[in-house]
Amino acid sequence: MSFQLRARSVRLAWVVESCGARSSEYLVGRNALDRFRLDGKVALVTGGSRGLGRAIADALASAGARIVLTARDGEVAAATAGSVEAAHGKPSLGLGVDVTHRDQVEAMVAKTVEAFGRLDILVNNAGINIRGPIETLSEDDWDAVVDTNLKGPWLCCRAVAPILKAQKWGRVINVSSMMGEISMPGRTPYSSSKGGLTLLTKTLALEWARDGINVNALCPGPFATEINTPLLNDPQARAQMEANVPMARWGDPTELGPAAVFLASDASSFMTGTTLFIDGGYTAR
């Protein structure tokens, strides 16, 4: 390296150190793509047995993470973990967990640490939707949606907090929704829960900003998964949704995975409390 180049790197390193960044590793010698790698990390994905959660689990494993994925049915979770392991050569564990139950959430976190010795990344993905005009919905409908989509992530975040804080590094990805920002008729429990999840994301981002824990929300638009079966099976609702998406199509679950890798990795080191929309342009209108 020439004298001038070396002097410039030393000067830049000093500027970064004095701005509070962690080290000059950010400046030299690392390919940008290396910062997306998740080797050595352990990621926990709730509701990871199918749909967007499965796609996220696959993407994180392909970037090098060991995976714990959960579903309410333990056998389904174990079978999916087996296929993630076979596809990516990374040890994976499947657990039967209902995220609305505190004891099951705490056991999930304990089993993750028991199996892999650590936990670095939490993806709060499990979620449900019950649609209908407010006067047709029951109190049980409201409780089911809000407990799954909002209380569940809150319980999971609370359970991982001591672990992430102790290691001074963590990533939490809350799978919220474009429906946490905008809405449509017939979505009172869902939109309320996802709006709450987006604000849970911002609040925890502030609480943990000095603990090395970044908390961000991924906000998908319409993806062709089981949660949307009622819309996908109704030609009129399906066409209407497509007409409202500027890209004029449904998302494919694999289109969410790379963004999850970004938020789970060092590539997003200066990013917390944000909402990342992957919606074919829906919310840009």
Q: Which is nearer to ligand NAD, 74 or 162 (CB)?
A: 74
> What secondary structure letter does DSSP report for 252?
P
User: Is 190 among the catalytic positions?
Assistant: yes
The continuous run of DSSP H or E covering 104 comes out as: helix 102-116
Asked whether 238 and 232 are in contact (CB, 8 A), the reply is: yes
Q: Which of 154, 190, 262, 282 is catalytic?
A: 190
> What secondary structure letter does DSSP report for 21?
-
CA dihedral in degrees (178, 180, 183, 187; nearest 10)? 110
Q: How far is the CB of 125 from ligand NAD (least distance, A)?
A: 5
Binding mask 254-283 for ligand NAD (x = CB under 6 A): ------------------------------
- Sheet containing strand 170-175, strands side by side: 92-96, 66-71, 42-45, 121-124, 170-175, 213-220, 275-278
Q: Considering only residues 223 through 242, tell me which ones interact with ligand NAD, judged by CB under 6 A.
A: 223, 225-228
β-bridge partners, 214: 171
Binding mask 156-195 for ligand NAD (x = CB under 6 A): -------------------x-x------------------
With CB under 6 A as the contact rule, the residue among 41, 47, 68, 94 that binds ligand NAD is: 47
What are the phi and psi torsion angles at 230 (to 5°)? -60, -35
Q: Which is nearer to ligand NAD, 228 or 269 (CB)?
A: 228
Q: Which is nearer to ligand NAD, 116 or 223 (CB)?
A: 223
Q: How far is the CB of 228 from ligand NAD (least distance, A)?
A: 5
> What secondary structure letter does DSSP report for 134?
G
Q: Considering only residues 68 through 97, tell me which ones interact with ligand NAD, judged by CB under 6 A.
A: 71-72, 97
Asked whether 77 and 95 are in contact (CB, 8 A), the reply is: yes
| Residues found near ligand NAD in the complex (CB under 6 A) | 46-47, 49-53, 71-72, 97-100, 125-128, 148, 175, 177, 220, 222-223, 225-228
